[in-house]
Amino acid sequence: MALPLLACLLFHLAALAHAQPSPGYRPSSLRRPIRFRQGYSNLWGPTHQTLSQDQYSLTMWLDRTSGSGFKSNRPYRNGYFGASIKLQSGYTAGVNTAFYLSNDQAHPGYHDEVDIEFLGTTPGKPYTVQTNVYVRGSGDGRLIGREVRFHLWFDPTTDFHHYAIIWNPDQIIFLVDDVPIRRYAKSSSAQWTFPDRPMWMYGSIWDASPWATENGKYKVEYRFEPFVARYTGFKIEGCSAFAPAWCRPVAASPAGGGLSAQQHAAMEWVRRNYLVYDYCEDSSKDHSQTPECGR
């Protein structure tokens, strides 16, 4: 009897270790969804977008002729930016489905960016979610990526899940279903490592074959086209670039400062069980330009 009881106990302990903890604070519930055109417009690939009749949902797809993208109607200097997204199952290698902040059109070659990217995969392997922060970077060799990647504790192809970025003057929080998965804080000693210029919110689906899936090992196979991404539950709230100076930034926690103890515990649970890669732990990286890794 002792061995079956021990096995049962170990099973339950393992289940508890992987049970999703509550973050205690759900910022998505404080904001109502908006119609797509209230906050966004098509940016490229208009023939590869379909807007639902009520305008609350958008479908985009990639095929051999084009991908597609959208952009917020106004730039923001801080805010809450969220959307519920459902990804395609099956072979999606090389396909990048993204929801991100950027000012690359305003500052070409010297832009800021805050990314949530879903890196396509092959059957039987989980999706990877890549979060990233660029600060005054470019594509000419000076671009310094701050990639942190995760697997998810659910299958993102079976239902919609809510992905969000909270960006305020002190920190950037990446959230999945209100669970913080990453916090990127502003440093008082190295302020050039934090984006502080207005950015627009974007969404896109595109061919990132050279690097997206296992460092480019697997490419987009257009015999499986179209590759479809579905967005709904658009939530956007914050201080636009044109808002008065007294506009208050969106808080990341109930207390209004950094993450609460419960939120921090939930984030540590994600890191402990689902972290795939952290640039600060990559010894091949030159960390002289990423002083936040020493904190």
Q: Answer whether 174's CB lies under 8 Å from 131's CB.
A: yes
Q: What residues does 78 pair with on adjacent strands?
A: 239
Q: Which domain holds residue 107?
A: 36-241+258-281
Q: Would 2 be classed as within a structural domain?
A: no
pLDDT score of 142: 54
Residue 1 C-alpha from the chain's centroid: 48
Exposure letters 234-263 (e unless 16+ CB within 10 A, then b): bbbbbbbeeeeeeeebbbbbeeeeebbeeb
CA distance to 119, 148, 180, 276, per residue, from 273 (Å): 19, 14, 14, 9
pLDDT score of 246: 95
> Which residues are the active-site residues?
113, 117
Q: Would 10 be classed as within a structural domain?
A: no
pLDDT score of 145: 84
Q: Would 23 be classed as within a structural domain?
A: no
Q: pLDDT tens digit string along 70-125? A: 999 999 999 999 999 999 999 999 999 999 999 999 998 889 999 999 999 999 99
Q: Would 25 be classed as within a structural domain?
A: no
Q: How many domains does the chain have?
A: 1
pLDDT score of 98: 98
Q: Answer whether 20's CB lies under 8 Å from 176's CB.
A: no
pLDDT score of 4: 52
Q: Would 50 be classed as within a structural domain?
A: yes
pLDDT score of 5: 53
Q: Would 171 be classed as within a structural domain?
A: yes
Residues of the chain with pLDDT under 50: 1, 3, 7-16, 139-141
Structure tokens given for 211: 């690097």
Residue 86 C-alpha from the chain's centroid: 13
Exposure letters 163-200 (e unless 16+ CB within 10 A, then b): bbbbbbeebbbbbbbbbbbbbbebeeeeeebbbeebbb
> Helix, strand or coil for residue 2?
helix
Q: Would 5 be classed as within a structural domain?
A: no
What's the CA gap between 240 and 225, in Å, rounded? 37
CATH at residue 79: 2.60.120.200
Q: Answer whether 251's CB lies under 8 Å from 168's CB.
A: yes
φ/ψ of 213, rounded to 5, equals -110, 110
Q: Nearest to residue 178, comparing CAs of 67, 5, 62, 20?
A: 20
Q: Would 22 be classed as within a structural domain?
A: no
Predicted TM-score (pTM) of this structure? 0.92
Give the DSSP letter of residue 222: G
